[in-house]
Amino acid sequence: MANNERLVIEERSRNIGNFTVGRLLPFRKRRSVGPFIFIDHMGPTSLHSPNWMDVDQHPHIGLCTFTYLLNGQVEHRDSTGAVQIISAGDVGLMTSGRGVTHTERTPEHLRTQPSHYIHGYQIWIALPKDKEEITPRFDFLSVSDVPKWSADGMIFKLLAGKIMGYKSPLPVHSELYAIDIEVEEDTFLDVKKYFSGEIAILINKGEITIDNQTVSAGQLLASHTSLECGVELKKGNRVLLFGGPAFPEPRYLHWNFAHSSKERLGQAKQDWIDRKFTKVPNDDTYIPLPSY
């Protein structure tokens, strides 16, 4: 990213099965922010029978999926055998490495209810080049274990990485940070003081001001931390910050795959077509490779 570049990105509607999300990354002018290569905003919306969240079995390589909910629940299942209900405030992190398949569904115990309100984010984090082929695994951070503190009129929740002298217990594979900030009174966040590398500031509630530029709910501001002298925040704001140093080599994306090697992407596509990926236990669903 050029040192003078600051970009405001609007959500773009995308369908994933019977569920619509607002896509923020990748963007044609901004493919990544630090190691973060994909951000989808889920909801806020109410799901009703028969249109529950049902994202059938699909594959990943070369990345981690990071799930963070503000409301509701999602049941995660993957080919490592992991089964986990992710609730509001929890963080789920699936490391795909050399290859994994998973599903995301409305939990069974909620399907007897008239509706289910859900709101959250699905994020992809690229793996460093020397870890793109590691063994798949799933890690979970419950809301009670998320580091939380108050300072300067703000409540901080550190979802991943380390910042401001705090470290999240969630295992990550590169230098990064993911933090949720709720604002209790008008204040000022000194970005350059605490953050480094590239940064994405995602506005969940209200609007913020940076150098006389206003960024509103549903928008994402992507920049370099060296540009920002600070962010003016108002009472009631909620913002999520993601970022860290960018990798030296580019990442190539195709469908649900990310890798530093285009040849490896081609192999992953063929492996999915040939049904060579390990399946989620007791699940025979299959999302075909899309035609682009």
Q: How confident is the model at residue 57 (pLDDT cuts 50, 70, 90)?
A: very high
In the chain, the percentage of residues whose pLDDT exceeds 70 is 87
Total residue length of the chain: 292
Domains observed in the chain: 7-273 (2.60.120.10)
β-partners of residue 241 are 179, 201
In terms of C-beta density within 10 A (0-12 exposed, 13-18 middle, 19 or more buried), how is residue 230 classed?
middle
For 8-24, what is the mean pLDDT?
A: 56
> What pLDDT sits at residue 41?
85
> What pLDDT sits at residue 215?
85
229 versus 137: which is more confidently predicted?
137
- pLDDT tens across 201-257, in order? 899 999 988 877 888 888 888 887 666 668 899 999 999 999 999 999 999 999 999
- Please, which residues have CB within 8 angstroms of residue 28's CB and are 6 or more apart in sequence? none
Q: Phi and psi dihedrals of 106, rounded to 5?
A: -65, 130
- pLDDT tens across 162-189, in order? 999 999 999 999 999 999 999 999 999 9
